[in-house]
Chain A
Amino acid sequence: MSELLEIGDRLVAQARADEQVEVVVGRSTSTGVRVYEGEIEQLSSATSAGVGVRVVAGGRQGFAYAGSLDPDVMADTLAEARDNATFASHDEHLGLAEPDGVPVPELDLYRESLTQVATDAKVDLAIALEKAVKAQDPRISAVESANYADGWSEGAVITSTGIRTVGRETSCYVSASCVASDGDDTQTGYGFSVGRTMEDLDLESAAADAGRRATRLLGATKPSSGRFTIVLDPYVTAQLLGIIGSTLSGEAVLKGRSLFADRVGESVAAGSLTLIDDATNPLAYSSSETDGEGLASRRNVLIDQGVLQGFVHNAYTARRAGTTSTANAVRGFSSTPGVGCRALSLVPGTALQPELLAGVGEGVLIASVSGLHSGVNPVSGDFSTGAQGLRISGGEIAEPLREFTIASTLQKMLAEVDAVGADLEWLPMRSAGVSLVVRDVTVSGS
């Protein structure tokens, strides 16, 4: 890790008196195994490294990156970033992050043991996963893929304004997708498990999820259209939170692209809803000690019992909004920092999913959604996605449903949240899943 700091120090030392220079250096290795019918289909190993350089001079910003730590290439990258800055607009709020006194949390995200695992053990795990999926149900007709992947990465941010941080982490996951068949009917399911080291992985639960998700949809039919109370499965809620999070970006607010601009202190959601972004939570797959500008990660409450508390910021948007960074700079070495939520979750309620279903009585359980990128507009709030799931009848799960859409608006969905489940789970994404009951959503089918 010290090598990354040295690389950064050397480049930052070339900063001229009238400019700020930020260097982001990253390095990672990864292994991926995919098995099919008991044999290795793909086995890949990779090492990547690169550097991103941001220059702010005379109120203008420029950026360049290179996928290489070659000293000559890095020198070129600094020169290119400098040149790019001269063509950008002047903006008095531009500037790098500066140390803000918040102590960097120690999160223990790196496990040496993962780096010592032999390749054969990784292959065996993927083969075991494939077997476990097949064993779930006689109707599992194929396991399209069973995967194991892991990697370690380290990254450093060094600036001429006094930021100098470095961190490293390991992560691994297994995932499987399978097909269930019954007569002419075919359905698919997926399951996964994530961790920082191999021992964290729960193969059986990943396999059970894949099998259950595929088989429970067999025989699904298209529902008739209507308005229903829906219950989102945890993974669907996590996807929804990702979109809600994007509307709470300080950048979206400043640029007039947020639904929630000017609504701090107002009620924007049901009272049962408290939304927190907290990358210091070590359980979160996306947790990390610092943000993309090297500031200490911290816990930010965005919506408290339905009331909007504020937005997330990086150094630039905070300065422009007249506030301080919430450590929400999000980026890799190949881009400048954006603003985004880093580890979002709802504060869980007390009821598990069966109890929520009993409370709903009649409705639809949404098992998965598709087309979030094409049917949801975070600026207007229009929400429409493809979906499949199961009817809720008499407070219990009834027949499977497919080929329908659910539609509402983001504003309305937040206000119509009836209950948050107790089944919070962290997923391999920037938000956590939890069952969520939402009233009055339009289901379009036949």
Chain B
Amino acid sequence: MIEPAVVSRALGVALKTGGDFAEVFVEDKRSSSARLDDGRIEELGSGRDRGAGIRVVVGDTTGFAHTADLSEQGLTAAAEAAAAAARGGGGGVRTVDLTPRVVSSQVVGTRPEEVGKATKVELLRRADEVARAQGGAISQVSASYGDSRRRILVANSDGLLAEDDQTRTLFVVGAVASGDAGMQTGRRSVGHTMGFELFDRYQVEDLAREAADQALTKLAARPAPSGSLPVVIGRGGGGVLFHEACGHGLEADHIQKNVSVFAGRVGEQVASPLVTLVDDGTVANEWGTFAIDDEGTVAQRNVLIEDGVLTDYMWDRLRARKEGRDLSGNGRRQSYKHLPMVRMTNTYLLNGAGSADDIVADTPNGVYVAQLGGGQVNTATGDFVFGMTEAYLIEDGRITEPLRQGNLIGNGPKVLELIDAVADDFEFGPPGTCGKDGQGVPVGDGVPTLRVSELTIGGTAA
């Protein structure tokens, strides 16, 4: 992407004002998208983003600058700006010898950029047709396709030089159903760190059918209950529960500032013994997978909670350096315009020994959530919410009527303790975008079917 000698000289400039650490992050991202709505191919779009972000660390201070100019001149200017921001004490010229780290990058089956636009458009049309064919009540359909190829290079003053080439492909179908009681929506999305072979794994017709069925089912939905009830979370679509209940609270930046309810609790029982939670950037083809993180660290599998005991937090370079410990491969950033910070990758709960059918049958009254929406957490208090986009009542141990959309609320540490059943049917869920401090990054999650003995459901029914 850029000559190592040029990068090395830029690092030298960045260290000119006495920085302890300097890093050059180069990114070249190409993306393409196609969108169908209202029966029309509304738009095809193409994007190109290319630039470099340079940071310099002096003590606890980070200076950062970015540029879209990848010439030596552009990099030098950005390095000087970052160095000025970090105003260290010392100075002088330092040379940085870079040692390339060879990482086996992702193997892509079919490069999306080599697939004709007409083929991509055809996927959208097929999805539209099938979704509309599910019933006359389907009043609107949208579908979108997107792919991106993101090439990155990371070099730092410790001599690291690493590159990665990340290809992701995404497909989303949304349906609106109209009935006597108004409109309802359904949605299915699939996304993987892979090329166009995504469509060998999934048929867009299936996704379209499922999105339409979800909207149609919800037409008959009744208001969700209000108050505390047992909640069974279905496999796959419930991973966001852990992302919010404890994932964010286990990020080392929150820990070091003591704004997490999980600070100082390593080695303690923080969850039901049924909980073993893993964050793993190496899962083949998952949405949050990569070969190296955005600081050049090789992706890892990290056990966060084992049999309910907190084993470790997630780390980026800055936070790990401060603690004098190993990196965990969780340093990520949205683009070269952003500073890296501690982020999740693919966060998931390991299988238990129960059976999903038994868990539902053993729940006299409650709510079954087939698909969670997004969520939000306050890491300092542990209070978090997550949405249910497809949910049903459980009556006498059976899944019965569909419920209208709403949020559930709980407190992370309490909810983790209240998990009283975990099944053996693990599945990854749909692709997610995790937002933190204004930056979005792709993340994956997954769960087997599980039950929380008590959660507050934000419906309107008494």
Contact = CB atoms under 8 A, between A and B. Distances in A.
Which of A36, A89, A382 has most chain B Cβ within 10 Å? Answer: A382
Interface stretch (B17-25, B175-183, B344-352): B175-183
A424 interface: no
A63 B226 contact: no
B185 A444 contact: no
Interface string A80-93: 11011101110100
Interface of B: 34, 37-51, 59-68, 81, 84-86, 117-118, 121, 139-140, 176, 178, 182-185, 218, 224, 226-228, 257-259, 261, 337, 339, 372-376, 378, 380-381, 383-387, 389, 404-411, 456-460, 462
Contacts, number: 253
B259 A142 contact: yes
A410 B38 CA distance: 24
A257 interface: yes
Q: Which 4 A-B pairs have the closest CB atoms?
A: A374-B387, A405-B458, A375-B407, A386-B385
Contacts of B226: 225, 405, 407, 442-444
B62 A43 contact: yes
Contacts of B375: 371, 374
A350 interface: no
A385 B45 contact: no
Contacts of B60: 36, 39, 41
Contacts of B66: 44, 46-48
Contact of B139 (A256, A371, A374): A256
A88 B39 CA distance: 11
17 contacts: A40-B85, A42-B61, A45-B65, A62-B43, A62-B45, A63-B45, A65-B46, A88-B40, A88-B42, A91-B40, A225-B226, A371-B407, A377-B405, A384-B405, A384-B406, A384-B407, A388-B383
B140 to A, nearest CB: 5
Nearest to B181: A380
Contacts of A259: 182-183
A282 interface: no
A379 B459 contact: no
Contact of A43 (B34, B61, B183): B61
Interface of A: 36, 39-50, 61-68, 73, 77, 80-81, 83-85, 87-89, 91, 119, 142, 144, 179, 186-188, 222, 225, 254-257, 259, 334-336, 370-371, 373-375, 377, 379-382, 384-386, 388, 402-408, 442-446
Given A41-B62, A384-B459, A62 B259 contact: no
Nearest to A81: B46
Contacts of A36: 60, 257
Contact of A179 (B259, B373, B374): B259
A119 B85 CA distance: 8
A87 B44 contact: yes
Contacts of A80: 46
B51 A43 contact: no
Which of A66, A370, A404 has most chain B Cβ within 10 Å? Answer: A370
A88 B62 CA distance: 46
A171 to B, nearest CB: 15
Given A47-B67, A63-B45, A87 B185 contact: no
B385 A374 contact: yes
A85 B405 CA distance: 37
Contact of B456 (A49, A379, A445): A445
Contact of A48 (B183, B337, B389): B337
A380 B374 CA distance: 17
Contacts of A144: 257, 259, 380
Contacts of A187: 380-381
A445 B48 CA distance: 48
A256 B178 CA distance: 9
B70 to A, nearest CB: 10
Contacts of B84: 119
B380 A186 contact: yes
Contacts of A46: 65-66, 337
B404 A380 contact: yes
A47 B381 CA distance: 37
Nearest to A85: B44
Nearest to A43: B85
Nearest to A217: B381
Which of A67, A91, A335 has most chain B Cβ within 10 Å? Answer: A67
A166 B392 CA distance: 53
A444 B458 contact: yes
Nearest to B116: A87
A64 B30 CA distance: 11
A299 to B, nearest CB: 29
A374 B376 contact: yes
B376 A188 contact: no
B227 A225 contact: yes
B42 A375 contact: no
Contacts of B51: 67
Contact of A375 (B65, B117, B373): B373
B371 to A, nearest CB: 11
Which of A46, A64, A256, A445 has most chain B Cβ within 10 Å? Answer: A46
A395 to B, nearest CB: 26
Contact of A66 (B47, B337, B456): B47
Nearest to A409: B460
A325 B380 CA distance: 46
A81 B378 CA distance: 42
A193 to B, nearest CB: 18
Contacts of B86: 43
A39 B58 CA distance: 11
B385 A446 contact: no
B176 A256 contact: yes
A44 B460 contact: no
Contacts of B339: 42, 44
Contacts of B459: 384, 407, 442, 444
Contacts of A48: 66, 68, 337
Given A45-B64, A385-B385, A444-B457, 18 more contacts: A42-B64, A43-B63, A61-B43, A63-B43, A73-B48, A84-B43, A88-B42, A256-B140, A371-B375, A374-B372, A374-B386, A374-B387, A375-B385, A382-B405, A386-B458, A408-B460, A442-B459, A444-B226
A42 B61 CA distance: 6
Contact of A44 (B64, B185, B373): B64
Contacts of A45: 64-65, 81, 85
B374 to A, nearest CB: 4
B381 A402 contact: yes
A48 to B, nearest CB: 7
B374 A373 contact: yes
A373 to B, nearest CB: 5
Nearest to B36: A89
A46 B63 CA distance: 11
B42 A89 contact: yes
Contacts of B376: 370-371, 373-374, 386
A73 B409 CA distance: 48
A48 B63 CA distance: 17
B121 to A, nearest CB: 5
Given A380-B405, A405-B407, A179 B380 contact: yes
